[in-house]
Structure 1
Amino acid sequence: MNRRLATAAASILLLVATVATAVPASAAEPAASAGDAGAAAGAGAVSLRGTGDTVLTSAFGEFAGDPVRISVDARAAGNTDPGTTRGHFHVRHVHNDGRLVADFEGDITCLGVGGREAIATGVITKGEAPWFPGLEVVGRKVSVSVEDNGRHGDRLGWVWAALGQPVADCQGTVPFIRTTAGDFTVRG
């Protein structure tokens, strides 16, 4: 992959992550059963919920200034237990001229929580990346990391397999960019 395409892909994915749809992830999922609620309420339950907006920095080259939104609604009965993890994510990245860079969503496959930080990984089930013709995003893994700093000033990080970066369950990166709006809550 040439440098321009790699930079563009990274920027698009970042923006996609930041500009997720305004529909809460919980609205897109079926209601939890009583068994799910009981498991989540038990000892060891963890969760990551919220939406955060950010604006890409100059480190993202041609995507500097682009808005990105990321929404995550993830929960698990135990920390880093893929077998009990449930949830949804949505990422939306729009170029600063209004053109769509990428928009994708999917299912959470693993959630890891430590203090006020969380890493949620998942698989894209629906989406597009028109900025990158020919780039197939469906079926690719993603990782979103969050640092919960209260109502303002959360931090985000992400890794996108669609751009050739490896992603394994509950693998992530340091939350490297501050949110400009929204709020994430990490519990566990």
Structure 2
Amino acid sequence: MTITRLARRSRVALAGLAAGLAVLTVTAPAAQADPEPKAAALPDFLLSGTGEGVLDTLGAGWKGHKVRFVIEAKGFATESQGTFRVQHWYPDGKIFADFQGKIDCLNVGGDVAVATGIIEKVSASPAEIEIPTGKRVGFTIDDEGKRDRLGWSWAVLGFKQEVPICTGTAPILPLSKGGYTVRD
């Protein structure tokens, strides 16, 4: 190999090495600034609204009874927060039950939301049913536009059994007034 060829190859190799070092110098600070990959953001679920209905479809003993559920919740699963209030009236308008609490879980899939919460305050409770503070209750909302449906755990389980976190029942009550927004 001639000296000219050797010199040319050395210059090419040195130029390549210099270019590589320049790239490393430019990219190295960026790599050091953020060494760990960023975690994917958790979903921000939403359940918001007030729904009212008449319990006529639940049997003769509930004909004319009216209920109202106010639920405001946001977050993801057990990283959720919010409040709920439940009111229930006899057909003559007298209060049957009134209680409220804090949301401890919210899960959403499409237009359906399941939320649970702990009862913190009972303002009215019927003599035949004790509504205990500290108990978890569950709600299921099916956001069908103007024809939302609602389900609640104590319609099936009563208040004596503990409701597992993030669980609800089928949405059995069609709302006659109001509605909910569910966002996933």
Q: TM-score, normalising length from structure 1?
A: 0.70
Shift of 1:125: 0.6
* Secondary structure at the counterpart of residue 114 of structure 2: strand
1:180 aligns with 2:176: yes
Shift of 1:175: 0.6
Please name the residue that 1:142 is paired with: 137
Unmatched tracts of structure 1, length 5 or more: 1-41
> 2: CA distance between counterparts of 1:134 and 1:52?
23
Letter in 2 for 1:68: V
Aligned pairs (5 A) from 1:1-188: 44-76=43-75, 78=76, 80=77, 82=78, 84-132=79-127, 135-150=130-145, 152-160=146-154, 163-188=159-184
Bigger Cα displacement from structure 2, 156-165 vs 121-130: 156-165
Number of residue pairs aligned between Structure 1 and Structure 2: 142
Shift of 1:156: 0.2
Letter in 1 for 2:83: H
| Contact 1:137-1:162 within 8 A present in 2 as well | no
Higher relative contact order (CA 8 A, sep 6+): 1
> 1: CA distance between counterparts of 2:163 and 2:171?
15
Q: Percent identity?
A: 37
Unmatched tracts of structure 2, length 5 or more: 1-40
> 2: CA distance between counterparts of 1:142 and 1:185?
20
> 1: CA distance between counterparts of 2:181 and 2:112?
9
Letter in 2 for 1:154: D
> 1: CA distance between counterparts of 2:171 and 2:132?
22
